[in-house]
Amino acid sequence: MEIPENCVVVIFGASGDLTKRKLVPALYALYLQNALPKKFAVLGVSRSLISDKDFQKRIVDDIRTYSSKKPINREKLKEFSKNFFYQSLDATNEDEYEILKKRLSELSKRAKSKENYLYYLSTSPTLFPMIAENLGKKGLQTENNRTGWKRIIVEKPFGRDLKSAQALNSRLQSYFQEDQIYRIDHYLGKETVQNIMAFRFANGIIEPLWNRNFISRVEVTAAESIGVEERGGYYDHYGVLRDMVQNHLLQVVGTIAMEPPAFFTATAVRNETVKVFQSLKPIKTSEVRKYVVRGQYNASKIRGKEVSGYREEKDVDPKSKTPTFVALKIFIDNFRWGDVPFYIRSGKRLPTRVTEVVIYFKKTPHHLFTGNGHPNIGCNQLIIRIQPDEGTLLKFGMKTPGAGFKIEDVSMDFHYSELYHAYIPEAYERLILDCMFGDATLYARIDAVEACWKFVDPILDAWQNRSNIKIYGYPAGTWGPKESLALFDYPDEDWRYPCKNLATEGEYCEL
Ligand code: BG6
């Protein structure tokens, strides 16, 4: 297996949630697979004062709590944690970056890394531009013949709107070149999102059907059963449209809707997805009521347990109008997708955690068996389950045995879990490794980020400035406000419900 060159990884925001829940476990998983460089060092950076030793102890605890790689191999874990170091730093103070520079040079010698540095910005987004600038002012971004590569991963959210995203980008680009900047969207690192491309472009039978001639509508759902947890302060400032749709879900739409790239390279793939984002039919401020429904969860009982409403959550404004649910009907104005509605929905405190895409194929042109089965017979569905129970399912009609011609829906399904060699890597494993290799295929390019903001901005603007646009309440544990049904064109259309309403019924979630 090819492994990346030795390097030093610098995590800004080392005491944050993402670091302990995702980044450190991802590095550990890569370490166990012998996928990391032969020699490497990870420098955790944040404000608090702690020693290298204490930081290493913390890493061990984090792995024990958050790694899915169980049972833990004590020896391996100890060995792994020895590669971690810590530097306390006020990220806003330029002078302190001298200390950082010195520390990096020591660690680089230790890891024989020739000054290959990967900076991971996992702090509050307000610090992103300042950190990039301070690194730049100390020359810590310079790549020349003498020094190694320097790459910077910028966590989401990349801005709050188009203007702020452009401002952030121009500050990053004052010091870093575009090919040094990796804008992370962890959905692109999900194995099952990448598999959409394989499914479409590695199978001769799929692509001919993948267009407006055969597909009547597409549905993308990202449901979460959790509420905002400890992130009320951040979330209340962003809301579901910025948190999930502008990035993750539009990227999924991009993968579903893109044209086949000529080559499988970062530039070719990203050239195709950006065209999808640029073809999104704008929803004008005046059309928001027609095409977008927003909601906010109310207090409820889930399986007998009281659950607070969004406005009662910690660090949330008690009069907040921030949506925790959104459903949209969007169109892609191009030859492949003209007039095919894409229904997108995402929310917190829904009945279960599930992310999936449903492709609805057109019905047969003539209904031979009407009257002998249910009315939707002939509407084939392809369900691509992104998580959990990852897999793909095709629904089609079959004659039930016996007299007459009664048709019923049956399924052909594939579950990743049935593959004997199935190990589905976490998105962050794939993405960190790709960055070490200098492969940006699964990272968002600035033109894509901008096009997605350009699409989302008028909706945010309408919500902010048009007082007649309602925010509907929905009981925690249900599928969001029933008003989202009004987005459909026909009375027999509805969302797919992979499980029932938790507030009232038991949970199940199957493909
Ligand atoms: C993050 C959002 O980007 O994605 C969170 O900020 C959300 O609010 C999370 O919970 C969902 O990711 P996943 O991988 O669990 O679907």
Distance 190 CA to ligand 1 centre (A): 12
Percentages helix, strand, coil for the chain (3-state, rounded to 5) are 35, 20, 40
- Residues 6 or more apart whose CB falls under 8 angstroms from that of 503 comprise 300, 301, 302, 351, 475, 476, 477, 478
pLDDT at residue 379, rounded to an integer:
83
Instruction: Give the integer Cα–Cα distance in Å for 466 and 481.
Output: 20
Is pLDDT above 70 for 375? no
Cα angle, residue 210 at apex, residues 492 and 291 outer, rounded to 5°: 45
Task: Provide the pLDDT for residue 52.
Answer: 97
Are 4 and 36 in contact by the 8 Å Cβ rule? The answer is: yes
Give the nearest ligand 1 atom to 224 CA. 10
Question: Among 139-143, 299-303, 448-452, where is mean pLDDT lowest?
Answer: 299-303
Residues of the chain with pLDDT > 70, as a percent, come to 96
First to last CA, the chain: 34
- The average pLDDT across 297-321 equals 94
pLDDT band at 259 (very low <50, low <70, confident <90, very high): very high
Q: Coil, strand or helix: which one is 284? A: coil
**Predicted pLDDT at 147:** 86
What pLDDT score was predicted for residue 409?
A: 86
Per-residue pLDDT band at 340 (split at 50, 70, 90): very high
If one residue of 244, 352, 424 were mutated to test the ligand 1 pocket, choosing by the most ligand atoms within 8 A of its CB, it would be: 244
**Mutate which of 156, 248, 357 to test ligand 1's pocket (most atoms within 8 Å of Cβ)?**
248
Going by alpha carbons, the residue nearest to atom 5 of ligand 1 is: 243
3-state secondary structure of 367: coil
Closest CA to 392 of 189, 194, 191, 199: 199
At 404-429, the pLDDT tens digits run: 888 888 899 999 888 867 788 899 99
- How does the average pLDDT of the chain come out, rounded? 93
pLDDT on residue 266: 85
Supply φ then ψ for residue 473, to 5 degrees.
-80, 150
Ligand 1 atom nearest to 247, measured from its CA: 3
Cα(200)–Cα(386) distance, integer angstroms = 15
Question: Is the bond leading into 388 cis (omega within 30 degrees of zero)?
Answer: yes
> Ligand 1 atom 2: the closest Cα is on which residue?
243
Gap from CA of 253 to ligand 1 centroid (Å):
17
Ligand 1 atom with minimal separation from the 427 CA:
14
> What residues does ligand 1 touch, defined as CB less than 6 Å away?
156, 224, 243, 355
pLDDT reading at 9 higher than 90:
yes
Coil, helix or strand at residue 68: coil
Over residues 126-133, mean pLDDT: 96
**Dihedral sign from CA coordinates of 197, 203, 206, 211:** positive
Residue 246 DSSP label:
I
Q: Which residues, other chains included, contact 316 with Cβ-Cβ below 8 Å and sequence gap of 6+?
A: 228, 232, 233, 235, 236, 310, 322
pLDDT at 165: 97
Catalytic residues: 248
Give the residue among 460, 455, 435 at the shortest CA–CA distance from 250: 455
CA of 510 to the centre of ligand 1 (A): 21
| Mean pLDDT of the region 23-30 | 97
* Distance between Cα 22 and ligand 1 center (Å): 11
**What spacing in Å lies between the alpha carbon of 104 and ligand 1's midpoint?**
31
- The whole-angstrom separation of Cα 103 and Cα 121 is 18
- Note the pLDDT of residue 378: 62
**Least confident range of 53-62, 280-289, 354-363, 394-403:** 394-403
With the most atoms of ligand 1 within 8 angstroms of its CB, the residue from 124, 192, 224, 242 to mutate is: 224
Phi, psi dihedrals of residue 233, rounded to the nearest 5°: -60, -50
Residue 238 CA: nearest ligand 1 atom is 6
CA of 506 to the centre of ligand 1 (A): 24
Ligand 1, closest atom to CA 222? Answer: 16
Q: Between 313 and 502, where is the model more confident? A: 313
